Structure 1
Amino acid sequence: MKIISVETFLVAPRWLFCRIGTDEGVVGWGEPVVEGRAATVRTCVAELSEILIGQDPLRIEDLWQVMTKSGFYRGGAVLASAVAGIDQALWDIAGKVRKAPVHELLGGPVRDRVRVYSWVGGDEPAEVAEQISERRAAGFSAVKMNASNAMGPIASAAEISAVVDRAVAAREAFGPSGDFAIDFHGRVSRANARRLLPLLAETSPFFVEEPLLPEEGHMLPSLMAASNIPIATGERLFSRQEFLPVLQAGIAVAQPDLSHAGGISEVRRIATLAETFGASLAPHCPLGPIALAASLQVDFATPNFLIQEQSLGIHYNQSNDLLDYLVDPTVFAFADGYVERSTAPGLGIEVDEAAVRRADEIGHNWRGPLWRHPDGSFAEW
């Protein structure tokens, strides 16, 4: 079997899909994208296709090594994300050839269903309560929300109180049995995080996500010493080498993204590394159906898996949503906050290729918002 084609598709709302074709008619799908830089990653996939055409798609590890290392300059969001989507597609092909789901190729399932969480905005306490009630009614037992809007280096008392009010509203809406995670999103300075974490402890968040920017990982130990709340991070880390320092710092939850951190191959290794530090895996995934399908395959085969993010109804999905490009959307049927293990081959989904090709004719040019502080200076989004 040989690879004969590598195609990419810009599909709304902000995704990039990759289709790898073979001379035996077996097709694999992946999702290589950096949000807001989809066209850049598309170019990188096209460059990597020069390596792939004519190669055996079942030599996944060899192709991964060549793609990540043969260009001399290594790493970074764009290359790691391009490799990630290609890697997903190669595993999809491998599963289809062997007539088995990818999780069986990874050693077999260690669970029968995967717990998932839903997104709520978190902009105002009243909205938090209302949205959590809606998610509870839909069967979810866990949600994640933003902690705040833009926040200055030293927040006002009102800003600090607003974050705590959101958490209190979330806990009251859920009661003691549900879980809510709080995403600091890199918007919160170290000084503000040290003030906030002790104040949030009484609401018992599931975890606090990205309390510091990824380049500030060296400050995590002192931050975690100020609180007993589990700390999660990793959506902007792209390799096990980048995860090593934050795991050594003591994070409780590793959050690699299957479309950014080298795909199934590398995230599987990151999960194993995390296990040696007693950390759980909770893959980041506010993206499309292929990224979620790849995440679930890793989740089913990973002993230290905790919970899975998914994007159904997330605020980014304005024109299209998670299920729109699937032939059978019931593969992501969430019941009681879980998704059942699929036994379908490959990634376990069937992509509606005609819908994808139609969407690519329109494409998208999604960009993240640009925020500024009241004085006009740049603010983290």
Structure 2
Amino acid sequence: MTDLKIIKIDLFKVPPRWLFVKITTNEGIVGWGEPVVEGKADTVAACINELKQYLIGKSAKNIEDIWQVLYRGGFYRGGPILMSAISGIDQALWDIKGKQLGVPVYELLGGAVRHKMKMYCWIGGDNPEVVLEQAHEKVKAGYTAVKMNATGSMDWISSLKDIKKVSHNIKLLREEFGDQLDIGLDFHGRVHKGMVKKLIDELTPYEPMFIEEPVLSENNDALKHIYPYTNIPIATGERMFSRWDFKQLLNEGVVDIIQPDLSHAGGISEVRRIASMAEAYDISLAPHCPLGPISLASALHVDFVSSNAIIQESSLGIHYNKGFDILDYVLNPEVFNVKNGYIDLFKKPGLGVEIDEEKLKEGVKIGHNWSNPIWRGEDGNFNEW
């Protein structure tokens, strides 16, 4: 068996806000990854170009050694840029190894523990006018679970009027669908500590599936006060980038669902480790995924082998994807079909997603300069988005 040397690394910055990496070996086997920080695609691309010195000429089979060198080879470690660059490279190397051996990636991770994975998708939540319409669209498309923003822009201590708005959307959904639809609520880090308990009081009667990011990850110490206040499962982790970031949170037992992102938290190798750590604390996994097809496929492979994985986010049809969506760059979109709320176990080797490179090249000509909006309160002070 040949050594599968890495000979070329190409980057594709494409709309709506994605960056793809293509790693080519001397045997012609190609792997695809999705290394991007939303709003920092060029910065991550620069990081990958800096990391090429550790990759070109190396064996693509040595995934773990490459991961360790990329993470530990520099004096400064972690953070969103480096870990997102590592994530995309790691995804591509697993794709190569699976293709070389002719098996799906989950087989290389120990084999599947399930034959299908429960899915949810995003339906908005900032504006009540669209909530029911979008929820019906998703149910018609096969989903049995959705997630929406719990709030719009919030002040550090908001008015009673703003507090009362929070429960309106989930109330509409409960009245329309009863208990037949699971509904996750994303606080999106928009809410400061002083408002969380009051908002939980408003939401509790409508029994959300979970509350996501009740506070920003840099304020995770506040979860010690929030967690015992509610019986609603607490989820967080999309802005945490390695097992070391998750270590204290897991040890303190103030979370029920962790949400590492396969394009930010070190790729398949690291998120699999994070999932196993969480299992030891009886904490479940629901990977964050507002990105493209490679990130989603990578998340599903980890889900397929993780007994504590409970549900998987998909960005199919999310509002960011105007003009270009997950399936637009994929030659076999059927792998992402949702049936009765689930996606079936993948069958093709590697990540199982066939990328339309010609479509990518068209997308590169358009490119993107995506950035999240800047919100300000009525008094002009910055509000979290």
TM class by shorter-chain length? over 0.9
From 376, 379, 382, the equivalent of 1:375 is 379
Q: Secondary structure at the match of 1:177?
A: coil
Q: Is the 8 A contact 1:188 1:211 kept in 2?
A: yes
Moved more, 256-265 or 352-361: 352-361
8 Å Cα contact 1:12/1:359 also seen in 2 = yes
Q: Retained in 2: the 8 A contact 1:220–1:246?
A: no
Once the two structures are TM-superposed, the CA of residue 275 in structure 1 deviates from its matched residue by 0.6
Residue 339 (1) aligns with residue 343 (2): yes
Q: Do the aligned partners of 2:211 and 2:234 also contact (CA within 8 Å) in 1? A: yes
Residues 99-119 of structure 1: CA deviation (Å, up to 9, x unaligned): 000000000000001111011
The offset of 1:129, in angstroms, is 2.2
Q: How many residues align?
A: 381
Q: What is the CA distance between 1:176 and its match in structure 2?
A: 1.1
Structure 1 residue aligned with 2:5: 2
Contact 2:12/2:21 (<8 A) preserved:
yes
Could you tell me which residue of structure 2 aligns to residue 232 of structure 1? 235
Whether 1:221 aligns to 2:235 is: no
Distance 2:9 2:129 in 1: 47
Q: Confirm or deny: 8 A CA contact 2:235 2:257 kept in the other structure.
A: yes
Matched, 1:279 2:277: no
Unaligned runs of 5+ in 2: none
What's 2:148 paired with?
145
Supply the distance in 2 between the matched residues of 1:60 and 1:160 (Cα, whole angstroms): 48
- Partners of 1:124 and 1:5 lie apart in 2 by 46
SS at match of 1:355: helix
Structure 1 distance, partners of 2:379, 2:342, is: 45
Alpha-carbon displacement from aligned partner over 1:40-83 (angstroms, at most 9, x marks no partner): 00000111111000000010000000001111100110000000
1:352 equivalent to 2:356? Answer: yes
Aligned match for 2:212, one of 209, 214, 224: 209
Quick check: 1:41 aligned with 2:44?
yes
Tell me the amino acid that sits aligned with residue 53 of structure 1: I
1:132·1:173 contact (CA, 8 Å) conserved in 2?
A: no
Secondary structure (helix, strand or coil) at the match of 1:6 reads: strand
- AA of the residue aligned to 2:369: N
- Partner Cα separation in structure 2 for residue 275 and residue 250 of structure 1: 14
Q: Secondary structure at the match of 1:205?
A: coil
Give the structure 2 partner of residue 26 of structure 1. 29
Distance 1:208 1:34 in 2: 23
Matched, 1:106 2:109: yes
Question: Which residue in 2 is equivalent to 1:300?
Answer: 304
1 CA distance for matches of 2:384 and 2:203?
Answer: 21
- Whole-angstrom CA distance in 2 between matches of 1:31 and 1:166: 33
Q: Which range moves more in the overlay, 245-254 or 144-153?
A: 245-254
Instruction: Please show how residues 177-326 of structure 1 align to structure 2 within 5 Å.
Output: 177-247=180-250, 248-326=252-330
How many angstroms apart in 1 are the aligned matches of 2:134 and 2:292? 22
The answer to whether the 8 A contact 1:217-1:245 is kept is no
Residue 32 of structure 2: SS of its match in structure 1?
strand
Give the one of 146, 164, 167 matched to 1:164.
Answer: 167
TM-score normalized by structure 2?
0.97
Q: What secondary structure sits across from 1:158 in the alignment?
A: helix
Q: Give the corresponding residue for 1:363.
A: 367
Output the CA distance in 2 between the equivalents of 1:63 and 1:39: 23
Amino acid across the alignment from 1:153: W
Deviation at 1:319, TM superposition (A): 1.7
For the aligned residue pairs, the C-alpha RMSD in angstroms reads 0.9
Gap runs ≥5 in structure 1: none
Q: Is contact 2:16–2:368 with CA below 8 Å preserved after alignment?
A: yes
What is the TM-score with the length of structure 1 in the denominator? 0.98
